[in-house]
Amino acid sequence: MGLRIVMLGAPGAGKGTQAVRMAQEMAIPHISTGDIFRKNLREGTPLGKQVQGYLNSGGLVPDQLTCDIVADRLQQADCANGYILDGFPRSLPQAEMLTAFLAGRGEKIDVAVNIDVPDSEIVERLSARRSDPDTGAVYNLKFNPPPAEIADKLIQRDDDKPETVQARLQTYHETTEPIIAYYEKQGALVNVPGSNAGPDEIYKRILDVLPK
Ligand code: AP5
């Protein structure tokens, strides 16, 4: 049985970067609520229209709507052997709903990986984040440069504008950060320093602290 993992950390802490690699190497799904919402936005679905305002302002999509989407996803067959939740839960009510949903199935989160990066570094990272619209691969003009041949097609996320990044950070500190203590109380928290080292080194730090 693989692990049921939650990734915690501020916007831009590197949750997605690490979760993609962990999911590949552990052969378990990577479930990012942000990716699900952005895909619906791009495709202009009813869900996309419903969440657009929240994403663009740096606020949170309502808890019940988000939890219903995740619960639906976790019941799919590929989640039977573990998964990595990235960007969820993001508020105490979401964390409590996840615990209750899993308890109803005789399951629990095995480990919550908190990647710790100071706000000053977050702003610098997010202004330089770019992604490949074809593959979804995420790069950083400063810290993780893309191959030169794809540089022209890379795009910037709408919510990586400086004013929206500030709003996302505020939402993080007010609403999401308390979840760290929630998972600590459950004995599931591991802390990983996420700055002053590239993605490879952070990945090693995560492997070192994951339950064996
Ligand atoms: P979401 O997509 O989850 O965004 P986020 O939490 O703000 O996280 P990011 O994707 O910005 O950052 P990340 O930590 O994954 O960093 P990354 O690896 O890309 O959510 C977006 C929005 O959707 C929310 O604002 C909200 O509106 C809504 N939403 C989503 N989930 C929700 C929920 N559960 N409830 C309600 N609403 C929800 O790395 C960042 C950059 O740094 C990249 O350029 C990367 O290349 C670079 N980098 C990575 N590692 C390093 C390193 N070690 N050193 C230097 N640079 C690095």
What is the residue whose two structure tokens read 């492997």?
Answer: 207
Of 5, 32, 33, 124, the one to substitute when testing ligand 1's pocket (max ligand atoms within 8 A of C-beta) is 33
Assess whether the C-beta atom of 40 lies below 6 angstroms from ligand 1: no
CATH superfamily ID and name for 4-209: P-loop containing nucleotide triphosphate hydrolases (3.40.50.300)
> Residue 21 above 80 pLDDT?
yes
* Percentage of residues in the chain having pLDDT higher than 90: 97
Distance 165 CA to ligand 1 centre (A): 10
Distance 150 CA to ligand 1 centre (A): 22
Query: pLDDT for 88-115, tens place per residue?
Result: 999 999 999 999 999 999 999 999 999 9
Q: Say what the pLDDT of residue 2 is.
A: 85
Mean pLDDT (the chain, rounded): 96
The confidence band for 70, taking pLDDT boundaries of 50, 70 and 90, is very high
Q: Is 90 a catalytic residue?
A: yes
Among residues 185, 14, 15, the alpha carbon closest in space to that of 99 is found at 185
Query: What is the CB neighbour count within 10 angstroms for residue 49?
Result: 11
Domain positions in the chain: 4-209
Kindly state the average pLDDT of the residues 7-26: 97
Among residues 90, 93, 124, 125, the alpha carbon closest in space to that of 9 is found at 90
Kindly state the average pLDDT of the residues 194-211: 96
Amino acid letter, 15: K
pTM across the whole model: 0.96
Distance 32 CA to ligand 1 centre (A): 9
Q: What are the E-state strand segments in 58-141?
A: 83-86, 111-116, 129-131, 138-140
> Residue 83 above 90 pLDDT?
yes
Query: pLDDT for 109-150, tens place per residue?
Result: 999 999 999 999 999 999 999 999 999 999 999 999 999 999
